[in-house]
Amino acid sequence: MIAEVYPMRRLPRSMNAFDYKIPDGLEVTRGQLVEIPLRGKKVWGIVKKTKDLPERGIRLKEMFAVSAAYELRDEELSFFEYLGHDLAQSVSSILHMALPTPPKRASKKTSAPWQSKPITLPRAETESLSRILKGMRGRNEVYLDIPDLKRMTAVLAAYRTTEPDEKILVIVPTVRMAKLLTKRLNDFHPVVLTGSESNNERFKRWMTFRSSDNGLMIGTKISALLIDSTITSVFVLNSSDKNHKQWDRNPRFDARSIANNLHKHFHTNLFFQDPSPRVEDLAQFNDVNRLHWSSAIATGLVDANAEQSSDLHESITLTAERIMRETLESGQRVLCVLNKKGLANRLFCRECSHKFSCGQCGMGTTLMGQVMRCGRCHQSAPAPARCPGCGGHDFKRIGLGTEGLAALLEKEYAGAAVSFLTKETERKLEPHHILVTTDTYIQNHFNPFDNIPYGLVLMVNADQPLYRSEVRSTETALRSLFVWRSVAQAANARFMIQTSELELFSQMLADPEDIIRQELVMRSTYGLPPYKRWVSVLYRDKELRKAEHAIAQLTVVARKIEGVTPQRQERTPDGVRIKIAVEPEQIDKLLEFFTGLSDTYIIDTDVI
Protein backbone atom coordinates (compact mmCIF):
# COMPACT_ATOMS: atom_id res chain seq x y z
CA MET A 1 0.00 0.00 0.00
CA ILE A 2 1.14 3.50 -0.82
CA ALA A 3 0.12 6.78 0.81
CA GLU A 4 0.25 10.17 -0.85
CA VAL A 5 1.30 12.63 1.85
CA TYR A 6 1.45 16.43 2.03
CA PRO A 7 4.64 17.24 3.99
CA MET A 8 4.02 20.11 6.40
CA ARG A 9 6.84 22.18 4.96
CA ARG A 10 7.17 25.23 2.74
CA LEU A 11 7.28 23.74 -0.74
CA PRO A 12 7.06 25.28 -4.22
CA ARG A 13 3.54 25.71 -5.56
CA SER A 14 4.24 23.13 -8.27
CA MET A 15 4.83 20.36 -5.72
CA ASN A 16 1.96 18.08 -4.76
CA ALA A 17 1.79 15.13 -2.36
CA PHE A 18 4.72 12.68 -2.10
CA ASP A 19 4.42 8.87 -2.25
CA TYR A 20 5.40 6.82 0.81
CA LYS A 21 5.24 3.10 1.46
CA ILE A 22 2.89 2.12 4.26
CA PRO A 23 4.58 -0.39 6.62
CA ASP A 24 2.85 -3.72 7.06
CA GLY A 25 0.24 -3.67 9.81
CA LEU A 26 -0.14 0.12 9.82
CA GLU A 27 -3.66 1.45 9.16
CA VAL A 28 -3.59 4.76 7.28
CA THR A 29 -6.51 6.90 6.07
CA ARG A 30 -6.99 10.30 4.47
CA GLY A 31 -6.48 13.26 6.80
CA GLN A 32 -4.27 11.46 9.33
CA LEU A 33 -1.18 13.12 10.78
CA VAL A 34 1.88 10.99 10.03
CA GLU A 35 5.64 11.11 10.48
CA ILE A 36 7.63 10.79 7.25
CA PRO A 37 11.24 11.08 6.08
CA LEU A 38 12.00 14.12 3.91
CA ARG A 39 15.45 15.23 2.80
CA GLY A 40 17.16 13.38 5.60
CA LYS A 41 14.84 14.66 8.31
CA LYS A 42 11.80 13.35 10.13
CA VAL A 43 8.84 15.67 9.44
CA TRP A 44 5.10 15.73 9.91
CA GLY A 45 2.65 15.34 7.05
CA ILE A 46 -1.05 14.91 6.28
CA VAL A 47 -2.24 11.92 4.27
CA LYS A 48 -3.91 12.93 1.01
CA LYS A 49 -5.03 9.41 0.05
CA THR A 50 -3.95 5.77 -0.01
CA LYS A 51 -3.70 3.51 -3.05
CA ASP A 52 -3.14 -0.17 -3.53
CA LEU A 53 -0.39 -0.06 -6.16
CA PRO A 54 3.00 -1.73 -6.59
CA GLU A 55 6.17 0.38 -6.28
CA ARG A 56 6.88 0.03 -10.03
CA GLY A 57 10.60 -0.49 -9.61
CA ILE A 58 11.06 2.68 -7.56
CA ARG A 59 12.03 2.06 -3.99
CA LEU A 60 9.79 4.26 -1.87
CA LYS A 61 10.65 5.51 1.58
CA GLU A 62 8.49 4.19 4.39
CA MET A 63 6.50 6.44 6.65
CA PHE A 64 7.48 6.14 10.30
CA ALA A 65 4.24 6.32 12.27
CA VAL A 66 0.69 7.61 12.53
CA SER A 67 0.05 10.21 15.23
CA ALA A 68 -3.02 10.13 17.43
CA ALA A 69 -2.63 13.85 18.25
CA TYR A 70 -5.24 14.93 15.72
CA GLU A 71 -6.76 14.00 12.38
CA LEU A 72 -8.29 16.25 9.76
CA ARG A 73 -11.80 15.39 8.72
CA ASP A 74 -12.24 14.76 5.00
CA GLU A 75 -14.08 18.03 4.45
CA GLU A 76 -11.40 19.95 6.35
CA LEU A 77 -8.56 18.59 4.22
CA SER A 78 -10.64 19.31 1.12
CA PHE A 79 -10.89 22.91 2.33
CA PHE A 80 -7.10 23.14 2.68
CA GLU A 81 -6.77 21.75 -0.85
CA TYR A 82 -9.21 24.38 -2.05
CA LEU A 83 -7.17 27.11 -0.32
CA GLY A 84 -3.94 25.89 -1.91
CA HIS A 85 -5.54 26.16 -5.34
CA ASP A 86 -7.25 29.49 -4.63
CA LEU A 87 -4.09 31.13 -3.22
CA ALA A 88 -1.76 29.65 -5.86
CA GLN A 89 0.30 27.92 -3.17
CA SER A 90 1.19 24.32 -2.47
CA VAL A 91 -1.14 22.57 -0.03
CA SER A 92 1.97 21.67 1.99
CA SER A 93 2.80 25.36 2.48
CA ILE A 94 -0.75 26.14 3.64
CA LEU A 95 -0.69 23.25 6.12
CA HIS A 96 2.77 24.28 7.33
CA MET A 97 1.59 27.77 8.18
CA ALA A 98 -1.82 26.81 9.53
CA LEU A 99 -1.36 23.76 11.74
CA PRO A 100 0.78 23.37 14.84
CA THR A 101 2.62 20.08 15.24
CA PRO A 102 2.55 17.82 18.31
CA PRO A 103 5.14 18.84 20.92
CA LYS A 104 7.91 16.41 21.79
CA ARG A 105 6.97 16.70 25.43
CA ALA A 106 3.87 17.95 27.17
CA SER A 107 3.87 21.65 27.97
CA LYS A 108 3.81 22.51 31.66
CA LYS A 109 3.33 26.19 30.98
CA THR A 110 0.07 27.66 32.20
CA SER A 111 -1.40 30.86 30.85
CA ALA A 112 -1.93 33.68 33.30
CA PRO A 113 -5.65 34.32 33.71
CA TRP A 114 -6.98 37.52 32.19
CA GLN A 115 -8.46 40.02 34.60
CA SER A 116 -12.16 40.12 33.85
CA LYS A 117 -13.62 43.57 33.21
CA PRO A 118 -17.29 44.52 32.76
CA ILE A 119 -18.98 45.78 29.59
CA THR A 120 -21.16 48.81 30.26
CA LEU A 121 -23.41 50.58 27.77
CA PRO A 122 -25.42 53.80 28.12
CA ARG A 123 -28.98 52.95 29.09
CA ALA A 124 -30.25 54.61 25.90
CA GLU A 125 -28.38 52.02 23.80
CA THR A 126 -29.75 48.85 25.39
CA GLU A 127 -32.66 48.92 22.95
CA SER A 128 -30.19 48.87 20.05
CA LEU A 129 -28.48 45.81 21.52
CA SER A 130 -31.79 43.97 21.94
CA ARG A 131 -32.87 44.84 18.41
CA ILE A 132 -29.55 43.70 16.92
CA LEU A 133 -29.67 40.42 18.84
CA LYS A 134 -33.24 39.76 17.73
CA GLY A 135 -32.32 40.48 14.11
CA MET A 136 -29.44 37.97 14.20
CA ARG A 137 -31.70 35.08 15.17
CA GLY A 138 -32.69 32.87 12.28
CA ARG A 139 -30.17 34.45 9.88
CA ASN A 140 -26.97 32.70 8.85
CA GLU A 141 -25.19 35.77 7.43
CA VAL A 142 -25.48 39.30 8.80
CA TYR A 143 -23.54 42.54 8.45
CA LEU A 144 -23.70 44.54 11.69
CA ASP A 145 -23.08 48.27 11.45
CA ILE A 146 -21.53 48.80 14.91
CA PRO A 147 -19.57 51.97 15.82
CA ASP A 148 -16.75 50.59 17.99
CA LEU A 149 -15.20 47.57 19.72
CA LYS A 150 -17.07 48.19 22.97
CA ARG A 151 -20.45 47.76 21.31
CA MET A 152 -19.21 44.90 19.13
CA THR A 153 -18.13 43.13 22.32
CA ALA A 154 -21.54 43.75 23.89
CA VAL A 155 -23.21 42.12 20.86
CA LEU A 156 -20.85 39.16 21.03
CA ALA A 157 -21.34 38.69 24.79
CA ALA A 158 -25.13 38.86 24.43
CA TYR A 159 -25.07 36.36 21.55
CA ARG A 160 -22.86 33.98 23.53
CA THR A 161 -25.19 34.22 26.52
CA THR A 162 -28.28 33.40 24.46
CA GLU A 163 -26.53 30.70 22.38
CA PRO A 164 -24.35 28.86 24.95
CA ASP A 165 -24.18 25.64 22.90
CA GLU A 166 -22.59 27.21 19.83
CA LYS A 167 -18.93 26.81 18.90
CA ILE A 168 -17.74 30.30 18.00
CA LEU A 169 -14.67 31.70 16.24
CA VAL A 170 -14.01 35.44 16.60
CA ILE A 171 -11.49 36.94 14.16
CA VAL A 172 -9.96 40.35 14.94
CA PRO A 173 -7.41 42.34 12.92
CA THR A 174 -4.77 43.00 15.60
CA VAL A 175 -3.20 41.41 18.67
CA ARG A 176 -4.10 44.47 20.74
CA MET A 177 -7.76 44.10 19.85
CA ALA A 178 -7.67 40.41 20.79
CA LYS A 179 -6.37 41.36 24.23
CA LEU A 180 -8.95 44.11 24.75
CA LEU A 181 -11.74 41.76 23.71
CA THR A 182 -10.53 38.88 25.86
CA LYS A 183 -10.48 40.99 29.01
CA ARG A 184 -14.21 41.61 28.58
CA LEU A 185 -15.15 38.05 27.64
CA ASN A 186 -13.06 36.21 30.21
CA ASP A 187 -16.16 34.79 31.92
CA PHE A 188 -16.77 32.72 28.76
CA HIS A 189 -13.28 31.13 29.08
CA PRO A 190 -12.07 31.97 25.55
CA VAL A 191 -9.12 30.33 23.85
CA VAL A 192 -6.83 33.06 22.48
CA LEU A 193 -4.59 32.63 19.41
CA THR A 194 -2.69 35.61 18.03
CA GLY A 195 0.17 33.97 16.13
CA SER A 196 2.75 35.11 18.68
CA GLU A 197 2.57 31.82 20.62
CA SER A 198 5.18 29.07 20.39
CA ASN A 199 4.25 25.96 18.41
CA ASN A 200 3.68 23.99 21.62
CA GLU A 201 1.45 26.63 23.19
CA ARG A 202 -0.48 27.05 19.97
CA PHE A 203 -0.98 23.29 19.73
CA LYS A 204 -2.27 23.16 23.30
CA ARG A 205 -4.76 26.00 22.76
CA TRP A 206 -5.97 24.70 19.41
CA MET A 207 -6.55 21.22 20.85
CA THR A 208 -8.56 22.75 23.69
CA PHE A 209 -10.83 24.52 21.21
CA ARG A 210 -10.97 21.71 18.65
CA SER A 211 -12.00 19.10 21.21
CA SER A 212 -14.77 21.27 22.65
CA ASP A 213 -18.42 21.17 21.60
CA ASN A 214 -19.16 24.79 22.45
CA GLY A 215 -15.83 26.57 22.74
CA LEU A 216 -15.02 30.21 22.06
CA MET A 217 -11.81 31.15 20.26
CA ILE A 218 -10.57 34.71 19.78
CA GLY A 219 -7.76 35.14 17.30
CA THR A 220 -6.09 37.20 14.63
CA LYS A 221 -6.07 36.17 10.97
CA ILE A 222 -4.00 33.05 11.67
CA SER A 223 -6.98 31.60 13.57
CA ALA A 224 -8.97 31.59 10.31
CA LEU A 225 -6.56 28.96 8.96
CA LEU A 226 -7.20 26.55 11.85
CA ILE A 227 -10.00 24.94 9.89
CA ASP A 228 -12.67 23.27 12.03
CA SER A 229 -15.83 22.09 10.30
CA THR A 230 -17.72 21.91 13.61
CA ILE A 231 -17.63 25.69 14.20
CA THR A 232 -21.19 27.01 14.16
CA SER A 233 -20.59 30.78 14.01
CA VAL A 234 -17.78 33.06 12.82
CA PHE A 235 -17.62 36.71 13.89
CA VAL A 236 -15.27 39.04 12.01
CA LEU A 237 -14.78 42.22 14.04
CA ASN A 238 -13.70 45.48 12.38
CA SER A 239 -14.26 43.60 9.14
CA SER A 240 -13.16 46.51 6.92
CA ASP A 241 -9.73 46.72 8.57
CA LYS A 242 -6.94 46.00 6.08
CA ASN A 243 -5.01 44.05 8.74
CA HIS A 244 -7.33 41.09 8.16
CA LYS A 245 -5.19 40.38 5.10
CA GLN A 246 -1.63 39.05 5.08
CA TRP A 247 -0.01 41.29 2.48
CA ASP A 248 3.71 40.82 2.94
CA ARG A 249 4.46 37.09 2.82
CA ASN A 250 3.14 33.80 1.51
CA PRO A 251 0.50 32.62 1.66
CA ARG A 252 -1.14 35.98 0.89
CA PHE A 253 -4.56 35.27 2.33
CA ASP A 254 -7.47 37.32 3.63
CA ALA A 255 -9.22 36.13 6.80
CA ARG A 256 -12.50 37.65 5.56
CA SER A 257 -12.39 35.54 2.39
CA ILE A 258 -11.67 32.43 4.43
CA ALA A 259 -14.57 33.24 6.77
CA ASN A 260 -16.82 33.61 3.72
CA ASN A 261 -15.68 30.24 2.42
CA LEU A 262 -16.24 28.57 5.81
CA HIS A 263 -19.78 29.91 5.55
CA LYS A 264 -20.19 28.46 2.05
CA HIS A 265 -18.48 25.09 2.62
CA PHE A 266 -19.64 24.26 6.16
CA HIS A 267 -22.82 26.40 6.43
CA THR A 268 -21.27 28.29 9.32
CA ASN A 269 -23.13 31.40 10.51
CA LEU A 270 -21.25 34.51 9.40
CA PHE A 271 -21.37 37.87 11.21
CA PHE A 272 -19.32 40.86 10.05
CA GLN A 273 -19.08 43.90 12.35
CA ASP A 274 -17.64 47.30 11.41
CA PRO A 275 -18.46 51.02 11.58
CA SER A 276 -18.65 51.15 7.77
CA PRO A 277 -19.12 48.42 5.12
CA ARG A 278 -16.84 47.68 2.19
CA VAL A 279 -18.26 47.58 -1.31
CA GLU A 280 -17.99 43.77 -1.19
CA ASP A 281 -20.09 43.69 1.97
CA LEU A 282 -22.93 45.56 0.29
CA ALA A 283 -22.79 43.07 -2.59
CA GLN A 284 -22.82 40.04 -0.27
CA PHE A 285 -25.24 41.03 2.51
CA ASN A 286 -28.67 42.04 1.21
CA ASP A 287 -30.76 44.79 2.81
CA VAL A 288 -32.54 42.40 5.18
CA ASN A 289 -29.22 41.03 6.44
CA ARG A 290 -27.68 44.42 7.27
CA LEU A 291 -28.47 45.64 10.78
CA HIS A 292 -27.61 49.03 12.27
CA TRP A 293 -26.85 50.38 15.74
CA SER A 294 -28.65 53.45 17.06
CA SER A 295 -28.05 56.89 15.57
CA ALA A 296 -24.58 58.33 16.12
CA ILE A 297 -23.53 61.68 17.58
CA ALA A 298 -23.81 64.83 15.48
CA THR A 299 -20.98 65.78 13.14
CA GLY A 300 -19.96 69.39 12.60
CA LEU A 301 -19.07 70.04 8.95
CA VAL A 302 -16.76 72.94 8.13
CA ASP A 303 -16.57 73.94 4.46
CA ALA A 304 -12.86 74.56 3.86
CA ASN A 305 -13.65 76.23 0.52
CA ALA A 306 -16.14 78.75 1.89
CA GLU A 307 -14.64 79.36 5.33
CA GLN A 308 -11.93 81.94 5.85
CA SER A 309 -8.57 80.57 6.98
CA SER A 310 -7.33 81.50 10.42
CA ASP A 311 -4.08 83.33 11.09
CA LEU A 312 -2.79 80.04 12.48
CA HIS A 313 -2.41 78.36 9.06
CA GLU A 314 -4.20 78.23 5.73
CA SER A 315 -5.25 74.63 6.55
CA ILE A 316 -7.12 75.69 9.72
CA THR A 317 -10.43 77.55 9.31
CA LEU A 318 -11.57 80.32 11.63
CA THR A 319 -14.41 78.09 12.88
CA ALA A 320 -12.06 75.23 13.75
CA GLU A 321 -9.61 77.58 15.46
CA ARG A 322 -12.41 79.19 17.50
CA ILE A 323 -13.84 75.87 18.69
CA MET A 324 -10.40 74.56 19.62
CA ARG A 325 -9.83 77.68 21.71
CA GLU A 326 -13.26 77.37 23.37
CA THR A 327 -12.58 73.70 24.19
CA LEU A 328 -9.23 74.50 25.80
CA GLU A 329 -10.66 77.44 27.76
CA SER A 330 -13.36 75.13 29.16
CA GLY A 331 -10.62 72.90 30.58
CA GLN A 332 -11.07 70.08 28.06
CA ARG A 333 -8.53 68.51 25.72
CA VAL A 334 -8.40 68.52 21.93
CA LEU A 335 -7.62 65.59 19.62
CA CYS A 336 -6.53 66.74 16.14
CA VAL A 337 -6.49 64.09 13.42
CA LEU A 338 -4.13 64.60 10.48
CA ASN A 339 -2.88 61.62 8.51
CA LYS A 340 0.14 63.43 7.14
CA LYS A 341 3.53 62.80 8.66
CA GLY A 342 6.28 65.38 9.02
CA LEU A 343 6.11 69.12 8.59
CA ALA A 344 4.33 69.25 5.23
CA ASN A 345 3.03 66.95 2.58
CA ARG A 346 5.26 67.99 -0.33
CA LEU A 347 7.76 70.60 -1.48
CA PHE A 348 6.92 72.94 -4.35
CA CYS A 349 9.30 75.20 -6.31
CA ARG A 350 7.85 78.70 -6.52
CA GLU A 351 9.96 79.52 -9.59
CA CYS A 352 9.16 76.61 -11.94
CA SER A 353 6.33 74.76 -10.12
CA HIS A 354 8.41 71.57 -9.81
CA LYS A 355 7.01 69.07 -7.29
CA PHE A 356 9.42 66.62 -5.71
CA SER A 357 8.67 62.96 -6.34
CA CYS A 358 10.31 59.64 -5.51
CA GLY A 359 12.97 58.67 -8.05
CA GLN A 360 12.16 55.00 -7.50
CA CYS A 361 8.38 54.83 -7.90
CA GLY A 362 7.26 58.34 -8.85
CA MET A 363 5.04 58.96 -5.82
CA GLY A 364 5.18 62.36 -4.12
CA THR A 365 7.65 62.46 -1.23
CA THR A 366 7.09 63.81 2.28
CA LEU A 367 9.49 66.11 4.08
CA MET A 368 10.50 64.47 7.37
CA GLY A 369 13.00 66.71 9.13
CA GLN A 370 15.91 67.02 6.66
CA VAL A 371 14.92 63.93 4.67
CA MET A 372 12.51 63.42 1.76
CA ARG A 373 10.76 60.09 2.30
CA CYS A 374 8.50 58.06 0.02
CA GLY A 375 5.42 56.57 1.67
CA ARG A 376 5.03 53.84 -0.96
CA CYS A 377 8.47 52.26 -1.39
CA HIS A 378 10.10 53.83 1.72
CA GLN A 379 13.05 55.25 -0.25
CA SER A 380 14.62 58.34 1.31
CA ALA A 381 16.94 61.11 0.12
CA PRO A 382 18.38 64.29 1.62
CA ALA A 383 16.13 67.34 1.42
CA PRO A 384 17.13 69.31 -1.71
CA ALA A 385 19.09 72.55 -1.55
CA ARG A 386 18.18 73.52 -5.12
CA CYS A 387 15.40 72.66 -7.54
CA PRO A 388 16.44 69.99 -10.07
CA GLY A 389 14.17 71.65 -12.63
CA CYS A 390 15.39 75.25 -12.64
CA GLY A 391 18.18 75.40 -10.08
CA GLY A 392 16.18 77.74 -7.87
CA HIS A 393 15.96 77.48 -4.10
CA ASP A 394 12.70 79.26 -3.31
CA PHE A 395 10.61 76.37 -1.97
CA LYS A 396 7.12 76.33 -0.49
CA ARG A 397 5.71 73.61 1.70
CA ILE A 398 2.38 72.32 0.42
CA GLY A 399 -0.06 71.24 3.10
CA LEU A 400 0.58 70.56 6.73
CA GLY A 401 1.86 67.51 8.59
CA THR A 402 1.44 66.32 12.18
CA GLU A 403 4.77 67.69 13.38
CA GLY A 404 4.21 71.04 11.69
CA LEU A 405 0.67 71.37 13.05
CA ALA A 406 1.84 70.51 16.56
CA ALA A 407 4.52 73.23 16.35
CA LEU A 408 1.97 75.81 15.17
CA LEU A 409 -0.52 74.92 17.91
CA GLU A 410 2.17 75.05 20.58
CA LYS A 411 3.12 78.53 19.41
CA GLU A 412 -0.51 79.71 19.15
CA TYR A 413 -1.77 78.37 22.48
CA ALA A 414 0.87 79.47 24.95
CA GLY A 415 0.81 77.36 28.07
CA ALA A 416 -0.92 74.41 26.40
CA ALA A 417 1.04 71.16 26.28
CA VAL A 418 1.02 69.86 22.70
CA SER A 419 2.07 66.36 21.61
CA PHE A 420 2.12 64.65 18.24
CA LEU A 421 1.92 60.93 17.56
CA THR A 422 2.71 58.96 14.40
CA LYS A 423 3.78 55.40 13.68
CA GLU A 424 7.38 56.56 13.35
CA THR A 425 7.31 58.48 16.66
CA GLU A 426 5.41 55.78 18.58
CA ARG A 427 5.81 56.30 22.30
CA LYS A 428 3.90 56.43 25.54
CA LEU A 429 1.52 59.37 25.51
CA GLU A 430 2.72 62.25 27.65
CA PRO A 431 0.35 64.56 29.55
CA HIS A 432 -1.06 67.04 27.04
CA HIS A 433 -3.84 69.49 26.27
CA ILE A 434 -3.70 68.95 22.51
CA LEU A 435 -2.75 65.74 20.72
CA VAL A 436 -2.03 65.80 16.98
CA THR A 437 -2.13 62.26 15.65
CA THR A 438 -2.55 59.93 12.71
CA ASP A 439 -4.51 56.66 12.68
CA THR A 440 -1.77 55.34 14.98
CA TYR A 441 -3.84 56.58 17.91
CA ILE A 442 -6.72 54.27 16.98
CA GLN A 443 -4.48 51.30 16.29
CA ASN A 444 -2.30 51.50 19.40
CA HIS A 445 -3.91 53.77 22.01
CA PHE A 446 -7.68 54.12 21.63
CA ASN A 447 -9.60 52.01 24.14
CA PRO A 448 -13.39 52.45 23.88
CA PHE A 449 -13.86 50.69 27.23
CA ASP A 450 -12.02 53.46 29.12
CA ASN A 451 -12.92 57.05 29.85
CA ILE A 452 -11.36 59.16 27.08
CA PRO A 453 -10.73 62.71 28.32
CA TYR A 454 -11.22 64.78 25.16
CA GLY A 455 -13.77 67.51 24.56
CA LEU A 456 -13.20 67.86 20.82
CA VAL A 457 -12.16 65.49 18.05
CA LEU A 458 -11.22 67.46 14.93
CA MET A 459 -10.38 65.92 11.54
CA VAL A 460 -8.17 68.64 10.09
CA ASN A 461 -8.42 67.29 6.53
CA ALA A 462 -11.09 64.63 6.03
CA ASP A 463 -10.46 64.68 2.27
CA GLN A 464 -7.01 63.07 2.36
CA PRO A 465 -8.06 59.52 1.35
CA LEU A 466 -9.99 60.88 -1.64
CA TYR A 467 -6.84 62.02 -3.41
CA ARG A 468 -5.05 58.69 -3.29
CA SER A 469 -4.92 56.80 -6.57
CA GLU A 470 -6.63 53.77 -5.02
CA VAL A 471 -9.82 51.89 -5.83
CA ARG A 472 -10.96 52.17 -2.21
CA SER A 473 -10.31 55.91 -1.75
CA THR A 474 -13.97 56.89 -1.19
CA GLU A 475 -14.61 53.78 0.90
CA THR A 476 -11.53 54.62 3.01
CA ALA A 477 -12.67 58.22 3.51
CA LEU A 478 -16.09 57.00 4.64
CA ARG A 479 -14.65 54.52 7.12
CA SER A 480 -12.15 57.05 8.47
CA LEU A 481 -15.02 59.46 9.09
CA PHE A 482 -17.05 56.90 11.04
CA VAL A 483 -14.11 55.46 12.98
CA TRP A 484 -13.06 58.87 14.26
CA ARG A 485 -16.68 59.70 15.00
CA SER A 486 -16.77 56.60 17.20
CA VAL A 487 -13.73 57.94 19.08
CA ALA A 488 -15.63 61.16 19.75
CA GLN A 489 -18.70 59.17 20.77
CA ALA A 490 -16.65 57.10 23.23
CA ALA A 491 -15.25 60.32 24.70
CA ASN A 492 -18.66 62.03 24.71
CA ALA A 493 -16.87 64.77 22.79
CA ARG A 494 -17.78 67.19 20.04
CA PHE A 495 -16.91 65.87 16.56
CA MET A 496 -15.94 68.17 13.71
CA ILE A 497 -14.39 67.74 10.27
CA GLN A 498 -12.89 70.18 7.78
CA THR A 499 -13.54 69.30 4.14
CA SER A 500 -13.41 70.79 0.66
CA GLU A 501 -15.94 68.14 -0.45
CA LEU A 502 -18.90 69.31 1.62
CA GLU A 503 -21.57 67.74 -0.59
CA LEU A 504 -19.90 64.32 -0.59
CA PHE A 505 -19.42 64.21 3.18
CA SER A 506 -22.96 65.45 3.74
CA GLN A 507 -24.15 62.48 1.65
CA MET A 508 -21.89 60.13 3.61
CA LEU A 509 -23.48 61.22 6.86
CA ALA A 510 -27.04 61.21 5.51
CA ASP A 511 -26.93 57.87 3.66
CA PRO A 512 -23.57 56.08 3.78
CA GLU A 513 -24.91 52.97 2.07
CA ASP A 514 -25.95 55.05 -0.94
CA ILE A 515 -22.33 56.16 -1.33
CA ILE A 516 -21.24 52.50 -1.28
CA ARG A 517 -23.96 51.64 -3.82
CA GLN A 518 -22.55 54.30 -6.13
CA GLU A 519 -19.11 52.74 -5.70
CA LEU A 520 -20.61 49.35 -6.53
CA VAL A 521 -22.00 50.72 -9.80
CA MET A 522 -18.62 52.27 -10.60
CA ARG A 523 -16.88 48.94 -10.02
CA SER A 524 -19.29 47.21 -12.36
CA THR A 525 -18.51 49.80 -15.05
CA TYR A 526 -14.74 49.44 -14.71
CA GLY A 527 -14.57 45.69 -14.13
CA LEU A 528 -13.46 45.77 -10.50
CA PRO A 529 -14.25 43.41 -7.58
CA PRO A 530 -16.71 41.87 -6.90
CA TYR A 531 -17.52 41.76 -10.63
CA LYS A 532 -14.00 40.74 -11.61
CA ARG A 533 -11.21 39.28 -9.56
CA TRP A 534 -7.87 41.05 -9.62
CA VAL A 535 -4.61 39.16 -9.26
CA SER A 536 -1.10 40.54 -8.81
CA VAL A 537 2.05 38.78 -10.03
CA LEU A 538 5.47 40.11 -9.04
CA TYR A 539 8.61 38.66 -10.63
CA ARG A 540 11.24 39.25 -7.98
CA ASP A 541 14.64 40.05 -9.46
CA LYS A 542 17.00 43.02 -9.18
CA GLU A 543 17.82 42.66 -12.89
CA LEU A 544 14.85 44.59 -14.22
CA ARG A 545 15.31 43.51 -17.83
CA LYS A 546 15.12 39.88 -16.80
CA ALA A 547 12.05 40.58 -14.68
CA GLU A 548 10.35 42.52 -17.48
CA HIS A 549 11.02 39.68 -19.92
CA ALA A 550 9.56 37.11 -17.48
CA ILE A 551 6.41 39.19 -16.94
CA ALA A 552 6.07 39.78 -20.69
CA GLN A 553 6.16 36.02 -21.31
CA LEU A 554 3.57 35.46 -18.58
CA THR A 555 1.36 38.12 -20.15
CA VAL A 556 1.44 36.39 -23.54
CA VAL A 557 0.19 33.13 -22.03
CA ALA A 558 -2.38 34.81 -19.76
CA ARG A 559 -3.95 36.68 -22.69
CA LYS A 560 -4.80 33.35 -24.32
CA ILE A 561 -7.11 32.47 -21.42
CA GLU A 562 -10.67 33.60 -22.07
CA GLY A 563 -11.88 36.30 -19.68
CA VAL A 564 -8.36 37.29 -18.57
CA THR A 565 -7.15 40.88 -19.07
CA PRO A 566 -3.53 41.66 -18.10
CA GLN A 567 -2.85 45.31 -17.24
CA ARG A 568 0.29 47.36 -17.82
CA GLN A 569 3.39 46.08 -16.01
CA GLU A 570 5.10 48.30 -13.45
CA ARG A 571 8.52 48.41 -11.83
CA THR A 572 8.86 48.04 -8.07
CA PRO A 573 11.88 48.07 -5.72
CA ASP A 574 11.82 44.23 -5.81
CA GLY A 575 11.24 43.59 -9.51
CA VAL A 576 8.38 43.94 -11.97
CA ARG A 577 4.68 43.51 -11.21
CA ILE A 578 1.58 43.07 -13.33
CA LYS A 579 -2.06 43.08 -12.29
CA ILE A 580 -4.54 40.83 -14.06
CA ALA A 581 -8.32 41.19 -14.16
CA VAL A 582 -10.21 37.93 -14.60
CA GLU A 583 -13.84 36.94 -14.93
CA PRO A 584 -14.86 34.92 -11.82
CA GLU A 585 -15.88 31.88 -13.90
CA GLN A 586 -12.42 31.80 -15.54
CA ILE A 587 -10.32 32.09 -12.38
CA ASP A 588 -9.68 28.34 -12.15
CA LYS A 589 -7.99 28.32 -15.57
CA LEU A 590 -5.68 31.16 -14.55
CA LEU A 591 -4.87 29.49 -11.22
CA GLU A 592 -4.10 26.23 -13.04
CA PHE A 593 -1.59 28.13 -15.19
CA PHE A 594 -0.01 29.61 -12.05
CA THR A 595 0.62 26.11 -10.67
CA GLY A 596 3.51 25.65 -13.09
CA LEU A 597 5.25 28.92 -12.16
CA SER A 598 8.31 28.95 -9.93
CA ASP A 599 8.23 30.70 -6.57
CA THR A 600 10.21 33.58 -8.08
CA TYR A 601 6.74 34.73 -9.10
CA ILE A 602 5.07 36.24 -6.02
CA ILE A 603 1.32 35.82 -6.53
CA ASP A 604 -1.51 37.55 -4.69
CA THR A 605 -4.82 36.16 -5.93
CA ASP A 606 -7.00 38.85 -4.29
CA VAL A 607 -5.08 42.09 -4.61
CA ILE A 608 -7.82 44.75 -4.31
DSSP-assigned letters across all residues of 404-437:
HHHHHHHHHSTT--EEEE-STT--PPPP-SEEEE
- Residue 500 is given by DSSP the state S
Do 480 and 595 fall within a single domain?
A: no
Do 64 and 134 fall within a single domain?
A: no
Residue 333 lies in a domain: yes
So what's the pLDDT on residue 343?
A: 44
Do 332 and 411 fall within a single domain?
A: yes
Residue 374 lies in a domain: no
Residues 6+ apart with CB under 8 A from 503: none
Residue 539 lies in a domain: yes
Do 331 and 222 fall within a single domain?
A: no
Q: Mind listing the pLDDT tens digit for each residue in 447-494?
A: 999 988 899 999 999 998 887 778 899 999 999 999 999 999 999 999
Residue 597: Cβ within 10 Å count: 19
Do 552 and 495 fall within a single domain?
A: no
Which of the listed residues 494, 521, 548 is the one where a domain comes to its end?
521
Do 230 and 142 fall within a single domain?
A: yes
Q: Where are the alpha helices (DSSP H) in 271-314?
A: 279-284
Q: Give how many domains the chain has, as a whole number.
A: 4
Do 537 and 514 fall within a single domain?
A: no
Residue 313 lies in a domain: yes
Residues 6+ apart with CB under 8 A from 590: 535, 558, 561, 564, 580, 582
Max distance between CA atoms of the chain, in angstroms, equals: 89
Domain that holds residue 19: 2-98
Do 138 and 205 fall within a single domain?
A: yes
Q: What is the CATH number of the domain that holds 540?
A: 3.30.70.2540
Do 81 and 140 fall within a single domain?
A: no
Do 93 and 168 fall within a single domain?
A: no
Element spanning 69, H or E: strand 65-71
Element spanning 260, H or E: helix 255-266
pTM: 0.89
Instruction: Please identify every stretch of the chain with a pLDDT value under 70, giving residue numbers as ranges.
Output: 55-57, 106-115, 341-346, 361-364, 366, 368-369, 374-378, 397-399, 426-427
